[in-house]
Chains A and B, each alone.
Chain A
Amino acid sequence: MKGILIILGILSLGELISWLTGGFVPGNIFGMVIMFLALQSKLIKEDSVSSVCTILTKNMALMFLPAGVGLMAAYELIAENWISIVLNITVTTLIVMAVVGLIVEKHKKEDNKQ
């Protein structure tokens, strides 16, 4: 119960910060950062939120289901642009993977030389 209160409290705070900063970044993102910082600084004990957080993150996929079912409403628009969508999924995923992987890999080698 306490865990739920903490999450909702942090979420409300995040929404407030989002509103104060012009709403560019969603409130739940601020909430995530606040949760992280509060745990790191031991402002919140791990035990008090661990069970709620684990339940939520373990069953996350269920919450995407309504959006996924929305495909039935957006089908035509997606079908018309399927080539672009496929390219976006494949090409850009490989680019991100290569950039992130190579940056870490390269810096590691520099470290080894030192």
Chain B
Amino acid sequence: MKDFDLIQSEPFILLLTIGAYYLGTIIHRRFNHPLTNPLLIAISTLIPLLLALDIDYPTYEKGSHAISLLLSPTVVALGYALHMQIRHLKGNVKRVLLAITAGSIVSVLSVVAVCFVMDTPHLLMVSMEPKSVTMPIALGITERMGGLAPLTAITVFTCGIFGNIVGPWFLKSIGVTSPIAQGLALGAASHGVGTARAMQLGQLQGAIAGMAIGLMGVWTAVVVPLVEYFIS
């Protein structure tokens, strides 16, 4: 009989992954705070668990591949979400498109600027360029540009949390008070996690923020390769 190692097997890794995520959703439902984000809980449960069980990352990556495969169809599904939300725009199409275009360009260029000042390696810079974009799109951009997916994941995630917590206060302090401007800014800078906060400000803010996610994603997917082309 061949050796069988249950712990390193694909079904067991899937079990661990989905189990950790399920635990995260339960805790999140209980406390409902941005810091009890299911993903954050799942990551901080899984990493020590994998280390304890002696599962290395290449093995884990292979075992959890089935889950990562769902990312691409999910990006396509975001087209449906965008379709459902775009009706909230009404007469604001032009200024919203202008704001998102400027937003995605500034988002990528500001990362380039900070990395230039801080003398950060190019690999890290590419990985952080899509940081204001929703995770499935950001991971797609990083993969295409040869960036580090884990770094993209952590920056996208923390940008969301940061915008969620600081966003409403910051917008108010610079005089952004209209619901459309607030929603769009939160969704554009902090994707889904910012949208959750925008929904607390009001339904219109939430819907507009949700729409900003899709637009920002498409625009940034175009801006990142362009910027990389010009600076290389």
Identify the A interface with B (CB < 8 A). Answer: 7-8, 10-11, 14, 23-29, 31-36, 39-40, 46, 49-50, 52-53, 56-57, 60-74, 77-78, 81, 83-85, 87-105, 107-108
Which residue on chain A has the smallest CB distance to residue B78?
A32
Specify which chain B residues have a CB less than 8 angstroms from the CB of A103 in the assembled complex: 95, 98-99, 102-103
Secondary structure of the B side of the interface? helix
In the complex, A67 Cα to B135 Cα: how many Å? 10
Given A29-B217, A60-B74, A73-B150, A100-B121 contact (CB < 8 Å): no
B interface residues (Cβ-Cβ under 8 A, vs A):
17-18, 20-21, 37-39, 42-43, 46-47, 50-51, 57, 60-61, 64-65, 67-68, 70-84, 86, 92, 95-96, 98-100, 102-103, 106-107, 110-111, 114-115, 118, 120-121, 123-124, 128, 131-132, 135-137, 139-141, 143-144, 148-155, 157-159, 162-163, 166-167, 170-171, 174-178, 180-182, 184-186, 188-190, 192, 212, 214, 217-218, 221-222, 225
Find chain B residues with CB under 8 A from A32 CB: 75-76, 78-79, 82, 137, 214, 217-218
**Bound state CA distance, A92 and B37, in angstroms?**
22
Shortest beta-carbon distance, A70 to chain B, in Å?
3
CB-contact partner of A31 in B38, B75, B83, B175, under 8 A:
B75
**Inter-subunit contact B64/A96 (CB<8 Å):** no
Could you tell me the distance between the alpha carbons of A90 and B118 in the complex, rounded to whole angstroms? 14
B171 and A65 form a contact (CB under 8 A): no
A101 CB contacts on chain B under 8 angstroms: 171, 174, 176, 181-182, 184-185
Q: Could you give 18 example pairs across A and B, Cβ below 8 Å?
A: A25-B221, A26-B137, A28-B72, A64-B136, A67-B135, A68-B154, A68-B157, A72-B50, A77-B121, A90-B162, A92-B111, A93-B162, A94-B166, A95-B107, A98-B185, A100-B99, A104-B181, A104-B185
User: How many Å lie between the Cα of A24 and that of B222 in the bound state?
Assistant: 8
What's the nearest-Cβ distance from chain B to residue A5, in Å? 11
Q: Is the CB of B181 within 8 A of A72?
A: no
Q: Are A97 and B79 interface neighbours, CB within 8 A?
A: no
Query: A95: which B residues are within 8 A, CB to CB?
Result: 106-107, 110
Would B171 and A36 count as touching, CB distance under 8 A? no
Is A100 a contact partner of B124 (Cβ separation < 8 A)?
no
Q: How many A-B residue pairs have CB under 8 A?
A: 307
Taken together as a complex, chains A and B put the C-alpha atoms of A66 and B189 apart, in Å, by: 24
The smallest C-beta distance from B35 to any residue of chain A, in angstroms, reads: 15
Q: In the complex, how many angstroms separate the beta carbon of A50 from the nearest chain B beta carbon?
A: 7
Min C-beta distance of A42 to chain B, whole Å: 10
> A51 vs B92: C-alpha distance in the bound complex, in angstroms?
29
Cα–Cα distance between A53 and B73 once the two chains are bound (Å): 9
Say whether A93 contacts B190, CB under 8 Å.
yes
Known: A60-B135, A64-B139, A97-B167. A35 touches B76 (CB 8 A): yes
Contact A81 B120 (CB under 8 A): yes
Residues of chain A within 8 A of B50, CB atoms compared: 69, 72
* Max chain B Cβ within 10 angstroms of own Cβ: one of A23, A31, A36, A91: A36
